[in-house]
Every structure is written in C-alpha cells, then in structure tokens.
A and B are shown apart, each in its own frame.
Chain A
Amino acid sequence: MRPSWMLRLFAALGLLVLLAPGLLVLVVSFSAGDFLTFPPPGFSLRWYQALFTHPGLMAALGTSAMLAALVSVLALLLGAPAAYAIARLDFPGRDVLATLLMAPLLLPTLVLGLGLLLVLQPLGLVATWPGLMLGHSLVAIPFAVRIMTTAFAAVPKELEAAAWTLGATPLRAALRITLPNAAPGAIAAGVLTFLVSFDETVISLFLVGPRLTTLPVEMFRYAERTTDPLIAALAMSLIAFALLMVAVVERLMGFTRAMGRD
C-alpha cells in the first residue's frame, strides 16, 4: 500500500531529527564567526585551519589513529578463529561461546570503563598503550566476531566439503577456500572495528591521562569548556571520515549484511 501523506510527513520529521545535527555541524564548521552561531556570520575555513594546527588535538588524533589500527588488527586476529568456530564448526557449548563473546556489549561502557580503571590504576596502567588497547579491545572483539561470523556463515558449506574431497585437510580448506570467500566480510569487520575504536569515548575517559589521551576524549573535554566552531570542524571531519569508511564497507559487502540482521 502506498504510504499516506501523513506517514510521509511524520517519517520526514523523524529523519529530520536524525540528520539535523549532522547538517548543522557541517554548516557551522565553515563559520567565520567565533561561536556556534546559526546562521553563521560568514563562511571561512579558518576553523579547519585552527583544527589542523592545534597541537593537542592533532597529537590526540595520531594516538587515536594508531590505537584504532592496532586494536582492529588485534580484534581481527583474535576474532577470526572464534568466528570461524562459531559459524562453521559444531561443538558442545557453541551458543554459550557466542553469548560469552558478545557479553561486553550488553553492559554500559560507563561500567566497563570504571571497572578497568579500578583494576588498572593500582598497576599503573592507566594512560598507557596496553591499558587503552585492553579497554578498546573489550568492545572491538565482540564487534569483530559478530561481523566475521556472518561473513563465514555466508560461505556455502559445500565449498569446504568439495575441497576436502579434493584432498585438502580441514585447515587448508579453511585457509584456501573459506577465508578468501569471507574476505570482504573480514575487511568490513576491520573497517568497522577501526571506527569503533576511533570513536570510543566513555571507556577512554576512564583510561586516559596527561601522558596519553585520545581524540574523542579531547573533543569531549573541549566541547565541555568552549563552544567555538573549531569543535564543529573536528566533529565534521570525524563525520566525514566515518561516512567514507561506511561507503567503503557498503561497496565491499552491503552494509546491512555486514551488521548481521538480527
């Protein structure tokens, strides 16, 4: 049935609410003024300039990028075998394992971050690379496992069986047949895990310090204190980056399939 005009109106309203912040960030980031004024007094690139020459934020950007890269690689390496097992093998407690690996995503990041702080602080691991990597892996691994499980499950079982009958040991079949065919999914998992770590805010808030901090935390702190368009430029850059990454995933794998429709 074709949707009524009322439905269209309300749906448009809903979408407007969802997309408005993004649009505003875009506009204000090019503002020539000194505050988050709308409409902006003029347009200029000054805040982008200020952003890319801001030492504190750029240092944090480098940290976040490096951290996200390391965490996503780690999550892929650890998650792939687990995902393969869940998707392709039949063993007792398989569903329990799947649930255990998803468990961290069920709790609020606030609580997860607090717990990490409590145990890592006495060991002096707060504001260190190991500490941050541990904290980010906590949410990255479940994500990676989830996406890769879907990717592995999508490879027809008969392909592996065919490889076995041709003389491939189960290991060789997994590496030569299943993995290459699941590769797009693995790449999608990598990209999305990178984003998850790159944007991770709350856990990081508990685990950063003067000697090591991440971009989302610095952005948060900046937004708490000041309201100038620099933060909008930063926000816009992050939004653009995230959208670009998602476009890449969509190209590779079809986004909704990558998320694994429940």
Chain B
Amino acid sequence: MSDAAPHLRLERLTRHYAGAPAPAVDTISLDLPRGALLALLGPSGCGKTTTLRMIAGLERPDGGRILVGGQDVTALPPHRRQMGVVFQSYALFPHMTAAGNTAFGLEMRGLGRAERARRAQVALEMVGLGALAGRKPRQLSGGQQQRVALARALAIEPELLLLDEPLSALDAKLREGVRDEIRALQQRLGTTTVFVTHDQTEALAMADLVAVMDAGRVEQLAPPEEVFERPATRFVATFVGRAARLKGMLEPGGVLRCGGLALRSTADLAPGPAEAFLRPHRVRLLAPTEAPPPGFDNLLDATLARRVYTGEVIALETETGAGPVMAELHAGADEAWRGLAPGAPLRLAFRAADLAVFPAS
C-alpha cells in the first residue's frame, strides 16, 4: 500500500429508499489505498450491498461522492466505470460459453477477435479453468461458475474489483479454499478490491481493512485484528466474535462496578452507567492455587453454567458476581480442565485493557 492518495474514496455517501424511515446508507465516508482489499461486513439490511452497488454505478446515491484515483465518478453510468463486478448469483450470460463470457468486457472495449480470445484464455487460466473455456454456464458446477464470473471481471483489468457475497452460494467445504484463492489472486494482481459479506470469518481472513456496518453507517473501519481485539462500538463488539456483556456503573479512574464487584478497566469515559464486553479468549482459567499472571488485574470467582463442545473449541459459559463471563478451552490444550461439569467452581483472570467499555445504551 504505497500511494499516499487513496485509490477509492467515499465521501458522505447517502442513499434513501422511498417509504423507508431511515436511510439505507447514511453518509458513509471511507478511504481505500491502492491494492488493498476492503470487506464491508454487517448483517442483512445494513446497507453494505447498496454501498457496493453505488460504487459500481448500479444505483445512484442521493448524496455524497465517489472518487476513484482522485476522479469523481459519481455521475458516471456503470458502463463507463472501469470496475469488475462479481454478482452474488454470478450473472453469467447463459447463451455464451465461459470464454465468450470472459471476453465480453474486452469485446465492449473494441478489442479484436484474436486478442480477445487470448486475453480471455489467460484470465480463465488464472482461475484454473483454462480447459473448460468452451463450456456453457449450465454445464459448469457452482464453484466453476463463480470462477468464470471472477475471470470475466478480471479480464478487463479493472480499476476496482467489486464482489457481492462471492462465497455465499458455495458449499461450506468449498468456501475456505476459494476464499484463500481469491485473496491470493487479488494480492498477486494488486487490484484494489471491495467485497461484501455477512460472514465475519471471511472478512477477517481476507481483508486488509474491514468496515463493520450497521443500519447504513460504518461502525468501525480498521484492519481485522483491530476490529476483533479493540472494537470501537458496542455493535462491533457483539457482531464480530463472541463476547460476554457485563453491565454496571463506571466510576472515576476506570473502575467498573458490576454486581458489587470492582473491575479494573482502561476506559477513558465519563462516569455513569456502562456496558463492558470481554472476549472469551482473553479470559485465563486459573487453577485453585495458581496466581494470576502479571498484568492480569481482574480476578473473579465463577461457577460453570454450561459447556458447549464445538470440536476445536469448548465454550464455557460461567456465572460470576459481576455477571455472565465466557471462557474457552482449546482442543489439545488444557487437558486438566476437560473434566469440568456444570456447577464446578472456577477462578478467572483477565487484563484491564481487555474490557471494551461503552456507555450503556
């Protein structure tokens, strides 16, 4: 990510739908450097697809601007924007072969037949479908169709690559592999990319930047690790990853009083009613006589309420004096803890910085 100026800039982008009380996209602003992959992550109806469609030119914003490479493209119709779009349903032209589909964008740009065929073949080989160029879409599997859609979008060497839930139509087993392939391809080509998803694992695994969206607004725009470890808002804390929610009163000095217990936090907010979120992997289980590691200022006595076995992780739901706290055990580790049954007493430790504190809603 070298360029100083952002490759894609959204400036206060807004979109209303007639009859809806709230805007679908509410003055969104963000910058995306060249070559980066941005994930628009959020629940259905949060406006992520609408935002993508506005970038592509398939919907007109009611307010704001879209700039690509410094140029205002807001008023440009889709066929004049240099963007490759992969639709959720792939939208392959049923009456053309894979090669014909892939070459279509090149045809629109006036390339000669031989040159088109060559570049289309190159694009198809990039996605591993060189041998199936002559097949029609209905003769291809879902995964193969998706690759053709990708090849078609990449063949025109677009300024921006836009993907609308590219993995959602695939079988769960395929998803991970394809996900990594798309990411590898994107990095190799250096194409600035925006993709829409409701699956946080996808977003965290693929993206350079994640924009967590809710109700038309961007709640947080940051690299994946920051979004996960340091959620900026309550929504991000609960939407991305699991977190326990503790309610209480924030006192001066970052002390959070929950259920009569004093918890240390690094919150820099005005005192008042507050909510704190704690991620399970930040909670350390201590043996009955074990001392907490240095820096782990918070120590709670807990009772195991539930354990849920999901294979790689055993989720532990506990009750403490401050409220419900979640912890986890990893398969292979912590053999000593595997025999825990509901009702067993536990000692939990976590750092002050691990509490994400927000004013109560």
User: So, do A and B actually touch in the complex, CB under 8 Å?
Assistant: yes
**Which of chain A's residues have a CB closer than 8 A to the CB of B108?**
163, 166-168, 172
Q: Which residues of B contact A167 (CB under 8 A)?
A: 79-80, 105, 108-109, 156
Chain B residues, CB < 8 A from A168: 79, 104, 108
Residues of B within 8 A of A161 (CB): 58, 78, 85, 87, 91
Set A156, A165, A169, A173: member contacting B89, Cβ < 8 A: A156
A-B contact count (CB 8 A): 65
**Cross-chain contact A163 with B87 (CB below 8 angstroms):** no
Chain A contributes a number of interface residues (CB within 8 A of B) equal to: 18
A221: min CB distance to chain B, Å: 47
Q: A177-B93, A180-B95 are in contact. Are A166 and B152 (CB under 8 A)?
A: yes
**B83, B94, B95, B109: which contacts A165 (Cβ < 8 A)?**
B83
CA distance A167 to B78 in the complex (A): 7
Rounded to whole Å, the gap between the CB of B137 and the closest CB of chain A is 11
Contact between A158 and B93, CB atoms less than 8 A apart: no
Instruction: Say yes or no: is A164 at the interface (Cβ < 8 Å to chain B).
Output: yes
Docked complex Cα distance between A190 and B148 (Å):
35
Q: Which of A165, A172, A173 contacts B85 (CB 8 A)?
A: A165
CB distance from A10 to the nearest CB of B (A): 43
Q: Verify A181–B87 contact, CB threshold 8 A.
A: no
The answer, among B58, B89, B152, B156, for a CB contact under 8 Å with A164, is B58
- Chain B nearest CB from A189 CB (Å) reads 18
Q: Does A162 contact B (CB under 8 A)?
A: yes
C-alpha gap A162/B145 in the complex (Å) = 14
CB of B93 within 8 A of CB of A164, answer no
Q: Among the interface residues B79, B80, B92, which one has the most CB atoms of the partner chain A within 10 A?
A: B79
List 13 contacting pairs A-B, 8 Å CB cutoff, sorted by A.
A159-B91, A161-B58, A162-B87, A162-B93, A164-B78, A165-B78, A166-B84, A166-B108, A167-B80, A167-B105, A169-B77, A172-B108, A181-B95
The 9 closest A-B pairs by CB, nearest first: A167-B108, A166-B105, A162-B91, A164-B78, A158-B91, A165-B85, A164-B79, A180-B95, A168-B108
CB within 8 Å of B: which residues of A? 156, 158-159, 161-170, 172-173, 177, 180-181
